[in-house]
Amino acid sequence: MNIIRKFQIYLFFFTALFLTTCKNKKNVDVSNISLDIKVERFDKDLSSLSPTNFKDKLPALSAKYENFYNDYMAGMLSVGSPDDPIFISNLNTVLNTPDYNALKQEVALKYPDLNEPEEQLTNAFKHVKYYYPNQKAPKIITFFSGIAIQVPIGDNYIGIGLDMFLGADS
């Protein structure tokens, strides 16, 4: 299924959720729906790497984040495919620019944890499950993109570019 089709599906579900919650009717009880959204912190995992351990640690990062990892590296950071011989060099260049590091620090200060957004996302996806019981909740993955992409949607994930939600003073 292509990315545009997945985007259309998620957009439909969020629109349906929005439209059903805007009516003057009783709130539905979602307390019996078992779902716990845990945000995966790609931004923190990537920040924990250093140029000396890229080669050793990137395969584990790729395995953990699957499709998002490739989409992020090739599409968002534009450092190329992990199979490219100059991939490590390109990644090192991007991750060590002053602007990228300043942004990384701002994200770390503003979002040390995501407990509140996790609760809100859990509640939102419980409502989706209420109306569409067979719909599987996607992985929620946070990242920073260098003020490029806000909320990418891919195979089984929704990314949240935390740098796009730093506020007006950033």
Which residues of the chain register pLDDT less than 70? 1-8, 10-14, 16-26, 147-150, 170
Angstrom CA distances, 32 to 1, 24, 27, 123, stand at 32, 22, 14, 11
Q: What is the pLDDT of residue 163?
A: 85
Tokens of 134: 């067979």
The rounded distance, in Å, linking the Cα atoms of 5 and 133 is 20
Is there a domain that residue 26 lies in? no
E strands, the chain, where? 39-41, 139-143, 153-154, 157-161
The rounded distance, in Å, linking the Cα atoms of 89 and 52 is 12
Is there a domain that residue 21 lies in? no
Is there a domain that residue 3 lies in? no
Is there a domain that residue 22 lies in? no
Q: What is the pLDDT of residue 49?
A: 85
Number of domains composing the chain:
1
Alpha carbons within 13 angstroms on the beta-carbon side of residue 31 total 2
Q: Which residues contact 153 (CB under 8 A, 6 or more apart)?
A: 3, 6, 7, 10, 138, 159
The rounded distance, in Å, linking the Cα atoms of 108 and 102 is 10
Is there a domain that residue 27 lies in? no
Place of tokens 């716990």: 36
* pLDDT tens digits, 124-135: 999 999 999 998
CB 35 within 8 A of CB 126: yes
Instruction: Please list the residues that pair with 157 across neighbouring strands.
Output: 139, 154
Q: What is the pLDDT of residue 53?
A: 85
Q: Which residues contact 39 (CB under 8 A, 6 or more apart)?
A: 114, 117, 118, 121, 140, 141, 142, 160
Is there a domain that residue 145 lies in? yes
Is there a domain that residue 23 lies in? no
Q: Which domain holds residue 159?
A: 36-165
Predicted TM-score (pTM) of this structure: 0.78
Q: What is the pLDDT of residue 7?
A: 65
Is there a domain that residue 121 lies in? yes
